[in-house]
Structure 1
Amino acid sequence: MPTPTSLDDLIEKASVYLKKRHLKQIKAAFEFGAEAHKGQMRKTGGAYIWHPVAVAEILADIQLDHESLIAAILHDVVEDTPYTKEDIIDRFGENVAEIVDGVTKLGKLEFDNPQEAQAENFRKMVLAMSRDIRVILIKLADRLHNMRTLGVMRPDKQRRIARETLEIYAPIAARLGINAIRIELEDLGFKAMHPFRFAVLERAVKKARGNRAEIVEQINEAITNRLHDENIPANVIGREKHLYSLYKKMKYKHLSFDEILDIFAFRVVVNTADECYRVLGSVHSLYKPFPGRFKDYIAIPKSNGYQSLHTVLFGPFGAYIEIQIRTNEMHEVSEHGIAAHWVYKQDATEEGRPIEQPLSAVEIRAQEWVKNLLEIQQGAGNSLDFLENVKIDLFPNVIYVFTPKGDIITLPAGATAVDFAYAVHTNVGHGTVGCRVDKKLIPLRTHLESGQTVEIIRSKELQPNPSWLQFVTTAKARSQIRAFLKNQQSASAQALGKRLLEKGLRNFNMSYTGLTDVIREGIVVEFKLESWDHLLEEIGLGKRLANLVAKQIHDVVLGSEDSILKSHAVEDPSQPLVISGTEGMAVNYAGCCHPIPGDEIIGFISAEKGLVIHRQECKNVKQFKNHPEKWLDVNWEENITQTFDVELQLEILNRRGALATVASNIAEMKTDIDRVRSEDKDETYSLMNIVVRVHTRKHLADVMRKLKRLPIVEKIQRL
C-alpha cells in the first residue's frame, strides 16, 4: 500500500478553505472508506481507497464543500462493499448518502447489452443531478482519475472508455463551464482513442514551441507595454491550445498543422468589466482587428455562464493573434464553472444547515440545463433514445435569439423556429402554426441566426406536425414531438385495431359487442399482454393480424380443437418463442428462402400453414406486396436456441474425397447436414448444394468462412 501522503495532500488543499471540524469529518470518512475497501486492489496495483481519495483531491482543487469531499471518498462504498446507504446516513448524514447513491451505478440490474446499461446508468445519474448537482461533479472527478490511470486497461476497453468520455463526460464538463476538467478529459480521451495521432501531434507541438517562443514574447511585451501606457493593470498570458483542440481544428476545418500554429493565443485578465472594454480598444489600436471575428460574451454570456471578449488581430510577421479579455472573476468561472460560486461553500448556521445564498447566473443556467434534461428524459421512449438525445444536446455550436419581450434564448446552430418554440415552453411548441422573424413571416424550417427576434404564431389546438422531426435540431424539441405523437398514435392505433378486429370477427359470424369480459381476459392472458387496449393497439400498428386474432377468439368461444393456430403448431411450447408476438400461432419457415435469425423477415398468413416466415428479399414475396392484408411485419425474438435449415451452393474442384472434406469441416463447426445434391459443372468443377442447420447468421458466416478457406472450394454462396 502506498504511504498515506495522498490523504495529507487532500487535507492540505481542503484546509485552505474548510474549517477544522470539516477536516475531521473528512478524516473520519477516509478511515471508514479504508475499512470498507480493505483488501480491495486496483489494476494499477495500489490499494483501492487511494482512488476515491484522489477523486476528492480533484474536487478540493476547485474548492468544493466538505460534503462533496466526503461523498467522493465514499462514492464506491455502496457499490463495491457490504455497507449500505443506511450505514452512510448513520455516520455522515442524509446529504452525503444521497450524493453517494446518485453516483452509484445500477450494478444489480441486468441489461441486454453494455449500451443499454450505460444509457440507464446515465439516466439514473441525471435524475440524481436534478436533486443535487454535486453528483455530476463527483462523477466528472471520478472519470478524470480513471482516465489518468487508463493505461492498465486492455486497448479495446481503453477505446470504449475514451469514446464515452469524449462523447458524454467532456461535453458535460463544458456545459457546466468546468474547463480545467474538460481540457484534461479531452486530451486523455484523445490519447487513448488515437494514441499514434496524439504522439505525432505532441512531438510537433514541442518542436514548434521553441521556434515560436521569441514571437510570443515579442507580442506579449507589446500588449503589456500598451496597457501599461493606458494605466490598465492587467495580466497578459500567452496560452497554448490543448492537443485535442488542435486536432479538432485540423480535422473539421481541413487545416494543416502549420496553418494552426500560425495562430498565437493570449489571455488578458483585468479587474473590472469596464477595463475589459478598455483593453479591447487598446489592442485594436495596437494591431488591426480581423473583420467579423469579434464576440462579446460579456454582454451575452454562453449557455454555461462563460464570459469574455474574443477578438482576432493581424499581428507581426503575418501571424493571427487570438485574444481573450476577461476579469478575474470571469476567469475563475471559466476554469471551474458552476463550482466557482458554489452555494454549499457557505458556512453553516447554528442549526447545521447551509445559509441560503442567491444563486449565481452560472448555477441558474446549470439548473435550467438539468431541468431540460429531465424533460428530454420524460419524453424519451427508452434509455438509449434518451442518451442519444442528450449527446445531441451536448454538442451545441450556439446562437442567441430574442423573444418579442427581449429575453435571450440560447439554441444550437442550425436551430429552427420550432426548436425556439419548444425552448420557450412545450405547449408553445405543440401549438406552433407559424413564425415571424424580425416581423417577417418565415417557413418553420428556416435556420435562425444570432440577433434575430422570433415571434411564434400559435393555435389553441395542440397538434405538432410529424414532419417537424425532419428538421428540428434540439433534443428537447425532438423528444417532446415524439412523446406527443406516440401518445396520439396509441389512441389512433387502438381505434383502428378495434375496427379491423370487428371486420375480422364478422368473417366468423361473430360480433365485437358480443365479446364478454371473460373472453377478453382469456385472450389477453393467451397473448401475454397487459390489457385488451394493448391488443387493439398492436392490431392497429400491424404487429398482429386481425384475422388471426379473430380466429383465436373464435376457437376460444367454440372450444375448437381444429384451429389453424393449434393443429399446425410446429414449435415446442417448452421452447422460447422464435418470432415475436406469435403466442399460440402456427409458425412455419419458408423452404424457398430458408430464413434464419438475423435475416430481415416478413410474415404471411396461410389458411393451411398458419404464419409463414420469408426473407424480405425472397422472390416469392413480391406477389404479396400488393396485398398488405395478407402480411405483417415480424421480428425475431432474442436468445433463440433452435436450429434452422440453410441451403448453400459450393463450386468445388472435381477431386476424389471432396464431399468428405466438405462434410468433415462442416461437422467441426458443430453443424448438421440435412441433405446434399451434387452435379458436374464442367470437366474441372462441380456444383454441390448442401442444406445445413445453423443457429444464426453469425453461425452461418463462420461456416461459410471455414469452407471458403478450403483449397478445393472456388466459390460459395447462400441460396
Structure 2
Amino acid sequence: MKPADELVGLIRAYNPRTNEKLIRAAYDYGRDMHEGQTRRSGEPYFTHPIEVAVILAAQHLDDATIITALLHDTIEDTQASYDEVATRFGDEVAVLVDGVTKLTNLQLSSTQTKQAENFRKLFMAMSKDLRVILVKLADRLHNMRTIKAMRADKQVQKARETMDIYAPLAGRMGMQWMRDELEDLAFKVLNPEGRASIMRRFITLQKEAGDVIERITSDMRTEMTKAGIQAEVAGRAKKPYSIWRKMQAKDQGFSRLSDIYGFRVITGTEGDCYRVLGAIHQRWRAVPGRFKDYISQPKSNGYRSIHTTVSGRNGRRVEVQIRTQQMHDVAETGVAAHWSYKDGVRGENPFAVDPVKWISGLSEQFDAEEDHEDFLEAVKLEMYSDQVFCFTPKGEVVKLPRGATPIDFAYAIHTRIGHACVGAKVDHQRVPLWTRIKNGQSVEVITAEGQTPQATWLDIAITGKARTAIRRALREMDRERFVRLGAELARSAFEHVGKKATDKVLDMAAKNLRFREKEEVLARLGSAELTAAEVLQAVYPDLAPNEAEDVATERPVIGLSPDQSFHRATCCQPLPGERIVGITFRGKGVVVHAIDCDSLGNYEDQPDRWLDLHWHSGKHQPIYTVQLWLTIGNDSGVLGRICTLIGEHEANISDMEFVDRKPDFYRLLISVDLADAKHLHRLMMALEAETDVAEIERYRNPELSRPPGGD
C-alpha cells in the first residue's frame, strides 16, 4: 500500500498549493473505513482507492477529485454516510462521492432497454459534474489492470463493458491514452490469442528490421536540427488492439499493415508546428488522404494537433502527430484539462474546453429522444464518432461524424433546413442524399416548400441530431394520419347509434378517458389503441354495443357494401382486433389484409382499389385460421401435451405439417382456428411458457398473396 507521503508528493509536484492536510485526512479516513476489507487478490481493499487517486494525480487534477478517488467506495461499501463525508470534507466532495457511488450501481452492460435508461442516468451524472466520470474512468482502469483476480465470466463481462462503453467514452473526452490502455486490457481478456499473435509478430519484426523506432526518431531529430527548429521527438509502436482493429477494418494481415508506428513532435509555438510539417514532408513522401489539421479545426473536446502519415525507411508508413506543449497537455487529459493544475495554478491552458459547454453540446440532441433504444443508438454513435470538417457555401465550418451524409449536414445547419431538404450539391456537383461527405468538401442543401422527412432518411442519416428530428417529424405525421382516420371511425361509430361525433362530444370523451385533448382520443382510435366502442362507452354508456355480443360470422367486417364478398388474405391471415384494409378485385370481391402486410406494397400505385375496413366489435367465433411455426423437443409425449394445451385454450388444430425432423427436435407448421388477436396472444404466451417449446412465431408469407380464385 502506497503511504500517504508518496501520494502527497505526487500532488505537490504539480500543485504546491494543495491542501495537504485535507488530502492526508481523506487518506486516513478511507483507510480506517476500509479496515479489514480485502480485494479478490487478497490485498487490502484500500490499495484500490489509492491507485485510483494516483492515476488522477498523474493527470494533475484538483484536490476535490483526488479526495473523491480516495473516498469513492466509502459510502457504498463502509459505514460512512453522505452527511459524514460532507461534514469532514465539504459538500463538493460529498456530491462527487455520491455521484460515483450511483454510477457504480449502474449496470451498463444489462438488457437493451435498461442499458439505455442507465446511459441516460450516466449522462445526467456527467452533466452535473464531469469529475464524477473522471473518477469512474480511473476506477475502471485500475480494475482492468488487476482483472486477473476475478472469475473468468466476470472478466469477460467487465472487459466487454469496458470495450463498448468506458473506452470510447474516454476517447470522446480526449483522454486517448486511457482509451488505448482500456481497449488493450479488454482485448487481452476477450481475445488473448489475437493479442498474443500480434505481440509475436512485433518481436519477429524487431529481429528482422532492428529498432525501427529509434532510427526514425533519430532521423526526425536530424531534420529538426537542419531546419533550426527546437522540438522533442518520441516514437512508439501502436497498441495491439489498435493494430488488430486496423487489420479487421482493412481486411489485411499484419505483414501488409503499414502504419503500426506512431511518432510525436512537440514544439514551442503553433508556427513551429507548420514548420515541422514542412520539414517532414520535404524529407519523406506524404501519403495522400492521410493529413488532418486539428490545429485550425480543433475537435469539440479541445484536441489540437497536426496528423500526417509518411513513407519512412524501407517504404514503411509511419504516423506523425505535431503539436505544442499546451496542445499536448490537453491531448493527454482532454476535457479533464479544465481542472488540471500546473505550478499551483488551475486551468490556464487556452485550449482546455469548458466542461459545461462540452457536455451540453454532447447531450442536447439526446434530451428530446423518447425511445430508449433510439437514445442508446444515438449515444453510441456519438461516442464512437470520428469527425470530418466540411463547409457551407459561405465558407462556414460544419463538424460532422465520419460517414455523415448531406441529410446530417442539413440538420446540423437547422432542423427546418433538414425537414425541407430535397437534394444536395457537394463541391458544386449534384449528388444523392446518401453520399458520404469527406474532409474539406463544400456542401449546399437544396430545399423545397412542402417537403417532409422520409422514413428512408433514417437509413441515410447517422448523427443523433438528424435521426432524432426525423423520428419526431415522422411521429407527428403519423399522428396527423391517425387523427384523420380516427375522426372517420368515430363519425361512423356514432352515426351507427344515431349520434354525431361533434367537438363537444369528443372533448367529453377525452375528459372521461383522461386524455388531454380530443385529438389524442382520435389518434389512439386511428392507431387501434382505442376501439370505437370504448369511445362511445365514455360518452353514451347505454348506447355502446355490448362487447360480449356475438358477431355474425357471415358479415364480421365493417366497410363493405351489401353486394361485396370478402376473403381473408392467405399471406397475413388477419384476425379480429387487428387493423385491416381491403383490396378490391373486379367480380371476385374483396381480400382483407392486415395493415402491416408486406403484400400491400403490390397495390401502392392503385389507391382506388383500397377500402378502409375494420372488424365488428363483439365476440367472434373461433373460425379464423392462423399458422404458427413451432420448434419442440423430440421426446416422448411432447406433441401430445402441445395438442392438449392448444385444446385447453379453446383453439382447434385444423392442420399440421412436420417441416424438419431431427434427433433432438421437431420443427412443424401448425394451423389453429382462433377467435381474435387476443385469443392468439393468449395461446402463444401459453405455448412459449411450455418448457418443451424451444421457439414459436406466427407464420406469414407474402408469396401466398393471391386474389380470390387463385389468379
TM-score range, shorter chain: 0.7 to 0.9
C-alpha distance in 1, partners of 2:483/2:367?
23
Indicate whether 1:483 and 2:472 are aligned. Answer: yes
The 2-side partners of 1:92 and 1:568 are apart by 73
- Maintained 8 Å contact 1:65/1:345: no
Given that 1:223 and 1:283 are in contact with CA atoms closer than 8 Å, whether structure 2 keeps it comes out as: yes
Letter in 1 for 2:227: E
Residue 629 of structure 1 pairs with residue 619 of structure 2: no
Aligned match of 1:91 in 83, 88, 91?
A: 88
Q: How does 1:350-365 map to 2 (within 5 A)?
A: 360-364=350-354
The corresponding residue for 1:229 is 226
Q: Structure 1 regions of 5+ residues with no counterpart?
A: 349-354, 570-592, 607-613, 620-624, 633-644, 653-660, 682-686, 706-719
Deviation, structure 1 residue 363: 0.5
Q: 2:547 aligns with which of 562, 565, 570?
A: 565
What is the CA–CA distance in structure 1 between the aligned matches of 2:99 and 2:639, rounded to whole Å?
Answer: 53
More off after superposition, 304-313 vs 168-177: 304-313
1:540 matched residue in structure 2: 526
Q: 1:290 to 1:18 in 2, by over 3 A?
A: closer
Q: Gapped runs of 5+ residues in structure 2? A: 552-569, 581-593, 600-608, 617-626, 659-667, 673-681, 696-711
**1:441 CA displacement:** 6.1
Kept in 2: contact 1:650–1:688 (CA 8 A):
no
Question: Deviations along 1:104-124, whole A, 9 cap, x unmatched?
Answer: 437899999633333222212
- 1:112-169 CA-partner distances (Å, limit 9, x unpaired): 9633333222212212322322222222212212322333444444333323322222
CA contact (8 A) 1:187 1:243 kept: yes
Q: CA deviation at 1:390?
A: 1.2
Q: Is residue 2:411 matched to residue 1:422?
A: yes
State the match for 2:494 in structure 1.
505
**What is the one-letter code of the residue matched to 1:507?**
H
Residue 447 of structure 1 corresponds to 436
Q: Is the 8 A contact 1:508 1:551 kept in 2?
A: no
> What amino acid sits opposite 1:11 in the alignment?
V
Structure 1 residues 594-625: Cα deviation after superposition (integer angstroms, max 9, x where no partner): x9xxx99984599xxxxxxx9x99x9xxxxx9
1:648-692 deviation per Cα after TM superposition (whole angstroms, max 9, x unaligned): 89999xxxxxxxx82389889x9899699999x9xxxxx999999
Q: Structure 2 CA distance, aligned partners of 1:688 and 1:126? A: 47
Whether the aligned pair in 2 keeps the contact of 1:264 and 1:319 (CA below 8 Å) is no
Equivalence for 1:30: 27
Aligned twin of 1:167: 164
Structure 1 position 11 matched with structure 2 position 8: yes
- State the shift of 1:337 in Å: 1.8
| 1:235 Cα offset (Å) | 2.7
Give the number of aligned pairs. 625
The residue number in structure 2 matching 1:398 is 387
* 1:185 equivalent among 152, 160, 182: 182
Q: Deviations over 1:15-37 (max 9, x none)?
A: 22234652322232334444555
Output the CA distance in 2 between the equivalents of 1:125 and 1:688. Answer: 46
Q: How does 1:1-150 map to 2 (within 5 A)?
A: 4-5=1-2, 7-19=4-16, 22-37=19-34, 41-80=38-77, 84-105=81-102, 114-150=111-147
Residue 63 of structure 1: how far off its partner (Å): 0.9
**Contact between 2:629 and 2:669, CA under 8 Å: does it hold in 1?**
no
CA contact (8 A) 1:673 1:693 kept: no
Change (3 A) 1:181 1:500: same
Matched, 1:379 2:368: yes
- Secondary structure of 1:662's counterpart equals coil
Is contact 1:400-1:411 (8 Å) kept?
A: yes
Query: Secondary structure, in 3 states, of the residue corresponding to 1:5?
Result: coil
Matched, 1:316 2:313: yes
The secondary structure found in structure 2 opposite 1:311 is strand
Q: Distance in 1 between matches of 2:108 and 2:308?
A: 50
After TM superposition, give the deviation of residue 247 of structure 1 in Å.
0.3
Q: SS in structure 1 opposite 2:233?
A: strand
User: CA contact under 8 A between 1:666 and 1:672: conserved in structure 2?
Assistant: no
Amino acid at match of 1:244: Y
Q: How far, CA to CA, are the matches of 1:650 and 1:329 in structure 2?
A: 66
Moved more, 141-150 or 282-291: 282-291
Q: Residue 266 of structure 1 aligns to a residue in which SS?
A: strand
**Change beyond 3 A, Cα 1:109–1:263:** closer
Aligned amino acid, residue 557 of structure 1: D
> Does the C-alpha gap of structure 1 residues 148 and 501 become closer, same or farther in structure 2, counting only changes over 3 Å?
farther
Give TM-score, length-normalised by structure 2.
0.73
Alignment of 1:464-613 (within 5 A): 464-487=453-476, 489-490=478-479, 493-513=482-502, 515=505, 521-524=511-514, 534-546=520-532, 548-550=533-535, 552-553=537-538, 556-558=541-543, 564-566=546-548, 603-604=577-578
Residue in 2 aligned with 1:589? none
Q: Name the structure 2 match of 1:576.
A: none
Change (3 A) 1:321 1:677: closer
What is the one-letter code of the residue matched to 1:541? Answer: S
Cα distance in 1 for residues equivalent to 2:194 and 2:40: 26
Instruction: Give per-residue Cα distances to partners, 1:351-381, cap 9 Å, x unaligned.
Output: xxxx8x67844405x6554223332222211
Q: Matched residue of 2:498: which SS?
A: coil
8 Å Cα contact 1:41/1:48 also seen in 2: yes
Q: Which amino acid aligns with 2:270?
A: A
Residue in 1 that maps onto 2:199:
202
Using the size of structure 1 for normalisation, the TM-score is 0.73
